[in-house]
Amino acid sequence: MTAAVFAFLLLVSVPIAFVLLGTALAYIEISGNEVLYQSFPQQLFSGIEKYGLMAIPLFMLAGEMMNRGGLIRRLIGLASLFVSGLRGGLAYINLLANMMMASIIGSATAQISVMTQAMVPEMERAGYTRDFAAATTAAGGLLSPIIPPSMLFVIFGVLGQIAIGDLFIAGIVPGLLLTGGFLLLVAVLGLVRDFPKGQWMTRREAARAAIRGLPSTTVPIIIVGGILLGIFSPTESAAAAALAALLIGRFVHKELNLLDLPEILLRTAFNSTLVLFLIATANVFGWVIIFEEVPQRLTLWLTELSSDPFVFMLLVNAALLVIGAFIDSIAALIVVVPLLLPIAQTNYGIDPFHFGVVVCINLVLGILTPPVGTGLFISATLAGISPGRIFIALAPFLLVTVAVLVLLSWQPWLVTGVLG
């Protein structure tokens, strides 16, 4: 009965946070467990009463400041310095630019809409097919869950009660594997399909791009370095990054107007609300899962299937690919982690960092796969071609991602090795 309410609310397109809220209310009403009503509003509050979650608004703020202050544009200029002359140079630039945007915007769909408009016309002009241009752009969004600061990592860390900073570190090798895999793919495709050759910058242009881009590198250095060296918590690194971006945008680039600040802050507040309110409502939704003994039933079913951790991880991956194809990645993460993480840890002895990295990469795949891949549809709409054609062009990238996922599931040390 409760499941029917959940399905109904979801399908008539009630916002997901309210689906969780309403399902919890319906569950209490149906089960007669009315004592839960007493702590209902308080549980909404305590669901987000967590230090680590402050990283979400602060990273978003840093991203907004970087965008407005011209830092992102210069960082992309700096990155293109190294790859612009290669065969398929623009494709590399696209991937690198996406990586940077991913680390900042934190929402893969938002990023795909920005980048598709910026990169696809440019790549087409340079002689790439539109299919490939759109697919490369969309694939770049897949890097978003692992490049710090990742929203999904912050949320996984809070839900799973593990150190968010360590999760970022655990994501380094998988991030390099995935990025490397994509770059290799572009290189191979470039040879096979004879991509247009890029043009190296002249020495003077290169020097200019380097000098212009240099101040902007402060921000990623603060974030990654601050966390790696243990100077900052992820939350603090986000605040420091926001301040640095503000100062550089205002005083070095002179592009950020202080009068823009209210709008930047408002956007930050509302965008982070989307995530935070979802987490708040997930806290009351958690009751439904707990009292219905969903984890117990699931554990029983899974452990009967196999006792091998690798097989378990493959099953989880398969299930998440399906779930991710239908539900927004953050919402899926919020529902899935409390369900599967305990099973992974206690029944299969899987390291929570290992589990977290694999789950986060996996869930982002869903935005690029039919039937509900929002990223796929945004990309198709903005590029003006059918989702089917983009999907075909995307397939090699998706296969690389799945291959990396299988590799990571099979060899946990690729994730946990750096944690020592």
Partner 1 sequence: MGAALALIPRISNALLRFEKRAAIALAASLLLLILLNIVTRELESALFWVDELAIYTMIWMALIGASAMVRMRTGVAVTIVTDLLPLRPRQILARVVDAILLAFAVALVVLSWQWYDPIALIRSGFDFDRFAELTLKFIYSEPTNTIGIPKFWVWLAVPLMSVNMTVHALANLVDGLPSGLESGADTGQSASQELGL
Q: Binder to partner 1 among 221, 269, 399, 407 (CB under 8 A)?
A: 269
Q: How far apart are CA 339 and CA 155, in angstroms?
A: 15
Among 81, 102, 115, 365, interactor with partner 1 by CB under 8 A: 115
Considering only residues 289-328, where is the footprint of partner 1 by CB under 8 A? 326-328
Examine residue 268 and tell whether it contacts partner 1 (CB under 8 A): yes
User: Does 377 sit near partner 1 (CB under 8 A)?
Assistant: yes
Q: Which of 397, 298, 293 is nearest to 2 (CA)?
A: 293
| Cβ 370 vs Cβ 325: under 8 Å | yes
Contact code string over 223-262 relative to partner 1, x by CB under 8 A: ---------x--xx-xxx-xx-----------------xx
Q: Which stretch binds partner 1 (CB under 8 A): 19-27, 207-215, 316-324, 343-351?
A: 19-27
Q: How many residues does the chain have?
A: 420
Calpha distance 177→401 (Å, rounded): 9
Is residue 50 near partner 1 by the rule CB under 8 A?
yes
Specify whether the CB–CB gap between 92 and 78 falls below 8 A. Answer: no
- Which part of the chain contacts partner 1 (CB under 8 A), choosing from 8-16, 144-152, 190-198, 404-412? 8-16
| 197 DSSP β-pair partners | 87
Interface of this chain with partner 1, residues 354 to 373, rule: CB under 8 A: 371-372
If the CB atoms of residues 261 and 406 are measured against partner 1, the closer one turns out to be 261
Rounded to a whole number of angstroms, the CA Rg of the chain reads: 22
Of 114, 147, 167, 316, the residue at the interface with partner 1 (CB under 8 A) is 114
Q: Are 142 and 108 in contact, with CB atoms under 8 Å apart?
A: yes
Q: How far apart are CA 127 and CA 108, in angstroms?
A: 26
| Binding residue count for partner 1, defined by CB under 8 A | 84
- What one-letter code names the amino acid at 70? G
Residue 314 CB, nearest approach to partner 1 (Å): 26
The answer to whether the CB of 285 falls within 8 A of the CB of 23 is yes
Rounded least distance, CB 375 to partner 1, Å? 9
User: Could you say which residues in the range 155-174 bind partner 1, by CB under 8 A?
Assistant: none
Nearer to partner 1, 45 or 410 (CB): 45
Does 11 help bind partner 1 (rule: CB under 8 A)? yes
Which residues 57-86 are close enough to bind partner 1 by CB under 8 A?
57-58, 61, 63-64, 67, 72-73, 76
CB of 308 to partner 1, least distance (A): 34
> b vs e for 359-382, b when ≥16 Cβ sit within 10 Å of the residue's Cβ?
bbbbbbbbbbbeeebbbbbbbbeb
Quick check: 403 and 138 in contact, CB under 8 A? no
Which member of 217, 273, 345, 347 binds partner 1 (CB under 8 A)? 273
Find the shortest distance in angstroms from Cβ 409 to partner 1: 27
Q: Are 249 and 75 in contact (CB under 8 A)?
A: no
Q: How far is CA 216 from the centre of its chain?
A: 22
Q: CB of 102 within 8 A of CB of 364?
A: no
Contact between residue 343 and residue 295 where contact means Cβ atoms under 8 Å apart: yes
Q: Which residue, 41 or 349, has its beta carbon nearer to partner 1? A: 41
Please identify which residue in 2, 31, 40, 163 interacts with partner 1, judged by CB under 8 A.
Answer: 40
